[in-house]
Every structure is written in structure tokens, then in C-alpha cells.
A and B are shown apart, each in its own frame.
Chain A
Amino acid sequence: KNQVEQSPQSLIILEGKNCTLQCNYTVSPFSNLRWYKQDTGRGPVSLTIMTFSENTKSNGRYTATLDADTKQSSLHITASQLSDSASYICVVSAKYNTDKLIFGTGTRLQVFP
């Protein structure tokens, strides 16, 4: 069964610190992996999209990595800000069915001053 698992489930850090969120997936055959940020009460917003051949992609203070061999991805947030408090969701789609996104349950990040 195609699944996406994320860890940790929740994380609290102090403003200015770095953190790394993890994602493992079993989706096969793999097409692409995305990280979304979802603020409370809002829809998810795309941060990065990576295909099989890409192993890192950055978007400002967000850097995503992908190891397609081990089926793992990470999202690193540098110099966290209060506005980074949100849920971060790892999303994978399978080849031949790229429109059907498979979502992880998310990591809830809280950044405190």
C-alpha cells in the first residue's frame, strides 16, 4: 500500500534555531515528492517539488533533500521565525497517477520567541 510517514509528529523550537523534519514513503513507482506548509485554518501551500533525479531543492530558508534509493526525504528549516509555526506535510505521487497526491499526516512545528 502506498504510504507516507512523517516524524516527528510535533516539534517545538526557539526562534532562530534550525530544525529538520523527516519523511519516509513506500509509494512505487515514484514520480515526485513535495513539501507543503499548512497554516492553521488555511489550505496547504507548496514549498518544494522534487522528481526522482533531484536530490536537493531550496526555497529561501527551506531546503528539501530526497534519497530515492532509501525512499526518504527531509525538510530543513534554517534560522526559524515565528511565522514558520505551521504543519509541514510531505506529499508523494506515483508514476502514471501523478494527479493523485498521497499525503503524510504532517509534522506540527511550533516556534517560540
Chain B
Amino acid sequence: GAGVSQTPSNKVTEKGKYVELRCDPISGHTALYWYRQSLGQGPEFLIYFQGTGAADDSGLPNDRFFAVRPEGSVSTLKIQRTERGDSAVYLCASSLTLTVYNEQFFGPGTRLTVL
């Protein structure tokens, strides 16, 4: 596709459940990023991948959060034992190369609501 796509666009789940959020980056983009945006705040970095490997996962809040990118394209953010505080918009971005002008293109996000 022309841009970064994310599915689902909305996810409502109950506290304690497991969820998976999917990101399809722009074709050919080697770098992929996950961010979390709470209401009225700017996005916060979670993790980024260069190819299949997680180059920096220092933003993941705890071990309930995990992300994979097994073939260097699609990525899945996995959240175990969801808590109400996990409710946010989860944004994915991708970029072509790691340069100083490294422009990141964002998807529309997945709005996660934990009841």
C-alpha cells in the first residue's frame, strides 16, 4: 500500500486479556517504530526495529509488552494481562534509512481501550 497501515483501528478488551496490534510498514522500509500516545500527550517511544531485530526496546514499559518483526516487514505489538492504564493510541511508523533526516511515516494508529 501507499502508507503505513495498522489493524485493528479500534480494540476494546477487558482487563487481564491478551491483545495483538499489527503494523504493515511502507514497502521497502527497513526501520519500524512503535509509539504510545495517551490523550492530550505527544507520542512516547516504545521500540524500534532495524530489519528483523529490535535495535532499541528501552521504551517498553514492562515485560507485559513485547513486539516482533519476524520477516523484517510486518510487526506485531503484543500486550499480556492488559491493564486499564494501557489504554492509549498505539502508533506505528516506518522509515527508509537511518540518516539524520530519517523521516518517519506514521500509520493512523490503533486505539486500545481496556475496560
Contacts and interface: CB of A to CB of B under 8 A. Distances in A.
Interface of A: 4, 31-32, 41-46, 49, 51, 89, 91, 97-106
Contacts of B4: 43
A104 B44 CA distance: 9
Interface in B64-115: 91, 93, 98, 100-109
A31 B100 CA distance: 7
Which of A44, A91, A100, A102 gathers most chain B CB within 10 Å?
A44
Contacts of B102: 98-99
A51 B41 CA distance: 24
B100 A46 contact: no
Given A43-B91, A46-B103, A51-B100, A99 B108 contact: no
Given A41-B108, A43-B4, A98 B98 contact: yes
B24 to A, nearest CB: 13
Nearest to B91: A43
Contacts of B91: 43-44
A42 B105 CA distance: 12
* Chain A, interface SS category: strand
* Chain B, interface SS category: loop
Nearest to B59: A100
Nearest to A91: B42
Contacts of B33: 99, 101
A102 B45 CA distance: 8
The 3 closest A-B pairs by CB, nearest first: A43-B106, A103-B42, A105-B42
B40 to A, nearest CB: 7
Interface string B42-76: 11110010000001101100000000000000000
A67 B98 CA distance: 25
Contact of A101 (B45, B100, B101, B105): B45
Given A43-B107, A46-B103, A99 B40 contact: no
Contacts of B59: 100
A104 B42 contact: yes
A43 B58 CA distance: 22
